[in-house]
Copies of this chain bind each other. A is one copy, B any other.
């Protein structure tokens, strides 16, 4: 906390965007979306990518992603009923793990109101041991890389 804080992420830093709805109960006693719920947006965005682009099947795919680390910085609040433009890129991409980087933006805004990361380790559904990222999913991750 003594080091200067990195500025909020910007829209151009992301490869993919999905508009997410807020819900009445997302707002907490202060009238803003509760910090916990941001991770639900992360989770929903990441899994939608895996399903839509990676061919992932929640109930049947033999290899599944376990979250092993997540983090979020909160810059400016959201409040129901406004929608969220949720953005995604892939940072580190390993043999069985991937680091997603995410930004949540107000409609048409350039500066993230929240940003963070989410690390998935892919495991065999039965043994829960790390497994290589399935080929189609890996190919979809390549499309989520920015710059480098």
Name the contact of A69 in the complex, choosing from B24, B27, B71 (C-beta under 8 A). Answer: B71
Copies in the complex: 4
Q: Taking CB as reference atom, which chain B residue is nearest A125?
A: B30
Which residue in chain B gives the minimum CB-CB distance to A42?
Answer: B36
Q: In the complex, are the beta carbons of B35 and A58 less than 8 A apart? A: no
Q: Which residue of B lies closest to A19 (CB)?
A: B21
A residues contacting the other copy or chain, number (CB 8 A): 45
Q: Are A47 and B81 in contact (CB under 8 A)?
A: yes
Q: Are B27 and A28 in contact (CB under 8 A)?
A: yes
Q: CA of A1 to CA of B64 in the docked complex: distance in angstroms?
A: 19
Determine whether the beta carbon of A36 is less than 8 Å from that of B39: yes
Q: Tell me whether A55 is interfacial, beta carbon within 8 Å.
A: no
